[in-house]
Amino acid sequence: MTMERDGRFHALVQATLLDVGAKRSRMRGGELEHAQGVAPVEQLVSYALEQAAALHASDIHVEPVAGGGVRIRVRIDGLLQEWQEPLPQKVAAVFLSRLKVLAKMDVSKTREPQDGSFHFSWDGRQVDVRAATMPTIDGEALVMRLLLHGERARRLDDLGFRPETAEKLRSLFHQPSGISMFCGPMNSGKTTTLYAALAELMKPETSVVTIDDPVEYVLPGAMQVTVQESKAGQESGRTFSDVLKHMLRMDAEILSVGETRDEKTAALALRAALTGHRVFTTLHAGDACSAILRMLEMKLPPYLLAATLTGVVAQRLVRRICPACRESYAATAHEAELLGMPAGTELVRGRGCEACHGTGYQDRMVLAEVLVLTEALREAIATGAHLSELRKLAKEAGCETFAEDGRQKILAGFTTCAEVERVLYGG
């Protein structure tokens, strides 16, 4: 989908184009240029970043196209949309160079990948940007991840969990010790849910420590630490396992590990849970039972995982129906079959309006699987049960699948069949 063009952006593109032409003309004449004020390309880059932040975009893609120039796309509510006008080749070159300078990359290197970071201010807050370049057959591509620094943790009730699911989550979070895992693919809201849980556990008499890369949410009253992984040209860094090892000596009752990436971090997290800490961590895994196998693949002792794991929250994000243009309609035969409902069942969808940029959706909500460990599951983990057996026991323990949660949210008018199918089955 292509979003409406921005007149201010177009004017800055034209100003940059004229400026590039003027500079080349002066260089041919042998004149020494003395730039005054802010260059048009700097204004163009600043405006693009600020507007992307205002749209709550999570990523900006600057992609070369055949024949020269670049197109710009932003990821909003999980989907990429073409945004602004394509940049002509002369503007694209200085636009990319300016971004690479901000990210402290080598401007002269265009045929090898680079990564960097910078930040800018928007609406009185700092936005952290992680940038990465990649050479392609059409030229150099650049992708930026935008992270709003210092955002307050959201409430669990605002994330889209059904009341009965939220109650199960709260019973899980309030266990006196053990480890809770939040899993899902990239950009599935794992960290947001984790911090919503921590926010509910914060009390003046409780010591909470978080370890992140970077810190995405501010949690007043907690001790928050940023990991600094080593990069090219650096002799050392601070890994999750390094920080976690020292944090175990900091008299913390609740530990949050931003991501379990390796065997060492996983082993330390389980040991912390075994010694009486409440541990929260995220993990890349497809569903709740797959997360258990993912931990075992890190060569952790099965008996230790069985003894310390209290539960797994697996999640995806689906778009909510736009409140400004929602309308009722009769379900199609395919939708009725998918939901197990009579043909013509009344459902809700978004018609598409200016508020939602014609998509029919605005904001996102969680689809969740919440697995609370039972004795049968602990025994299965300790004895190395297969994934199929774990899923059977999870169902017996009352763990709903993504599809079951999605069905309830479609019937309640929060999202659509098309959206749930897209997220769970692709397309």
- pLDDT, averaged per 10 consecutive residues of the chain (427 residues), comes to 72 87 51 58 94 94 91 94 91 94 95 93 90 95 88 87 94 93 93 94 92 85 81 57 84 91 91 93 94 93 95 97 96 94 94 91 96 96 94 95 96 97 88
Hey, which residues does 126 pair with through a beta bridge?
121
The verdict on residue 2 lying in a domain is: no
Percent helix, strand, coil in the chain, to 5, is 35, 25, 35
Q: Comparing C-alpha atoms, which of 216, 208, 265, 269 is closest to residue 239? A: 265
The verdict on residue 168 lying in a domain is: yes
Domain end call among 148, 183, 208: 148
Measured CA to CA in angstroms, residue 337 lies from 119, 163, 350 at distances of 49, 26, 21
Same domain, 215 and 124: no
Q: 372 and 311 in contact (C-beta within 8 Å)?
A: yes
Phi, psi of 182 (to 5 degrees): -115, 120
Residue 225 CB contacts under 8 Å (≥ 6 apart), including other chains = 209, 210, 211, 212, 215, 243, 247
DSSP state of 8: H
Same domain, 163 and 140: no
Same domain, 311 and 406: yes
Q: Show the tokens assigned to 270.
A: 């389980």
Same domain, 227 and 245: yes
Where in the sequence is the domain holding 282, given as residue range(s)? 151-425
Would you mind telling me the total number of residues written for the chain in this entry?
Answer: 427
Please give the Cα distance from 223 to 48 (Å, whole number).
Answer: 34
Residue 234 CB contacts under 8 Å (≥ 6 apart), including other chains = none
Same domain, 269 and 407: yes
DSSP state of 343: T
The verdict on residue 411 lying in a domain is: yes
Same domain, 30 and 103: yes
The verdict on residue 224 lying in a domain is: yes
The verdict on residue 309 lying in a domain is: yes
Same domain, 99 and 164: no
Site of tokens 């909470």 = 208
Same domain, 332 and 189: yes
Output the domain CATH number for residue 57. 3.30.450.90
DSSP-assigned states of every residue in 140-181: EEEEEEEEETTEEPPPGGGTT--HHHHHHHHHHHT-SSEEEE
Same domain, 139 and 207: no
Q: Comparing C-alpha atoms, which of 117, 102, 87, 122 is closest to residue 42? A: 102
> What is the pLDDT, as a whole number, of residue 247?
81
Phi, psi of 147 (to 5 degrees): -125, 115
The verdict on residue 215 lying in a domain is: yes
Please give the Cα distance from 184 to 367 (Å, whole number).
Answer: 11
Measured in whole angstroms, how far is the alpha carbon of residue 282 from the centre of its chain?
Answer: 12
The total of structural domains in the chain comes to 2
Same domain, 337 and 232: yes
Output the domain CATH number for residue 173. 3.40.50.300
The verdict on residue 1 lying in a domain is: no
Measured CA to CA in angstroms, residue 9 lies from 38, 69, 72, 98, 377 at distances of 16, 16, 12, 16, 56
DSSP-assigned states of every residue in 24-55: HHHHHTTPPP---S--HHHHHHHHHHHHHHHT
Beta strands in 258-395 (DSSP E): 278-283, 309-321, 326-330, 346-350, 361-372
> What is the pLDDT, as a whole number, of residue 28?
43
Phi, psi of 31 (to 5 degrees): -85, 150
Q: Comparing C-alpha atoms, which of 70, 72, 68 is closest to residue 81? A: 72
DSSP H stretches of helix in 179-287: 190-201, 240-247, 263-274
> What is the pLDDT, as a whole number, of residue 421?
96
Q: Show the tokens assigned to 69.
A: 């120039």
Same domain, 178 and 325: yes
The verdict on residue 116 lying in a domain is: yes
Q: Show the tokens assigned to 61.
A: 């893609």
Domain end call among 148, 176, 203: 148
Domain end call among 118, 148, 178: 148
Same domain, 136 and 248: no
Please give the Cα distance from 112 to 132 (Å, whole number).
Answer: 11
Phi, psi of 149 (to 5 degrees): -75, 140
> What is the pLDDT, as a whole number, of residue 4?
60
